[in-house]
Amino acid sequence: MITRVGNGKSALFWEDRWIQGMRVQDLTPGLYMRVRKKVRAACTVFEAMLNGAWALDIGPDIDITLLSEVFELWERVMEVELLPAVEDSTAWAWEASGIYSARSAYAARFWGMESAPFAEMAWSSKAPRQCRFFAWLAGRNRCWTSDRLARRGLPHQAACPFCDQEPETLNHVLIRCVLARVVWHQVLSALGTPELTPEAGDAVVEWCNACAQRAPSKKEAKDIRPWRL
Ligand SMILES: [Zn+2]
């Protein structure tokens, strides 16, 4: 069910689908995990939005990744205008009318099962949690690269800090930049698949999906010697 926010006095800020049908944990999972369960279960949209009180629920000592989530959530929250005279309400998310139907419930059941090799690879990896989370952010183009900062009128660098030739977009800095491609070539050569080195026109998600399909078998993986890196 999605929540249509009116005065925000019954919708739960941290749990309900009140931000264009999405929950805070869908948009900014790192922030969501920082908030105590008791607070998540009780804090209404009205209470959380009062003088930006939701930011206090997150607590101090946040790293750069979480800071980008703070910006993200801050923008989303700023777009919402509470309507003091209107009660919050809920609606079935899978029909434009907001009314439940068996047909749409059946469709909803299978919607989340769509194959997403990139997301699967990011979350099932044995990499540290921060790396998996970064990969997930990158897959959604949610990293604070210069192009994104510029779109929001925030200070940003004019060009990629590595090559100083191209604008710093996510695709550029991760795989298109000449320096990034040198690094990938070294890594992939050590893994025995130098042919997977990204090309200048590749996009991150499509390239990662292609790499995931070429992942080495368990037997091949045993022969890989990480120290050759
Ligand atoms: Zn570059």
Dump pLDDT digits (tens) for 189-204: 988 888 899 988 888 8
What residues in the chain have per-residue pLDDT under 70?
92-120, 215-229
Dihedral over Cα of 27, 32, 33, 34: its sign: positive
Instruction: Name the maximum alpha-carbon separation found in the chain.
Output: 67
- Contacts of residue 179, defined as CB under 8 A and 6 or more positions apart, other chains included, come to 162, 163
CA–CA distances in Å: residue 44 to residues 3, 8, 30, 58: 12, 6, 20, 15
pLDDT at residue 115, rounded to an integer: 42
- Using the mean position of ligand 1's atoms as its centre, give its distance from the Cα of residue 175 in Å: 9
CA–CA distances in Å: residue 96 to residues 91, 92, 93, 99, 102: 9, 8, 7, 8, 14
- Using the mean position of ligand 1's atoms as its centre, give its distance from the Cα of residue 186 in Å: 17
pLDDT at residue 93, rounded to an integer: 55
- Using the mean position of ligand 1's atoms as its centre, give its distance from the Cα of residue 182 in Å: 11
Q: What CA–CA distance (Å, rounded) separates 136 from 152?
A: 22
- Using the mean position of ligand 1's atoms as its centre, give its distance from the Cα of residue 157 in Å: 12
pLDDT in tens, 27-51: 888 899 999 999 999 999 999 998 8
pLDDT at residue 20, rounded to an integer: 76
- Contacts of residue 59, defined as CB under 8 A and 6 or more positions apart, other chains included, come to 34
pLDDT at residue 61, rounded to an integer: 82
Question: Which sequence spans correspond to the domains of the chain?
Answer: 2-111, 117-228
89 bridge partner residues: 4
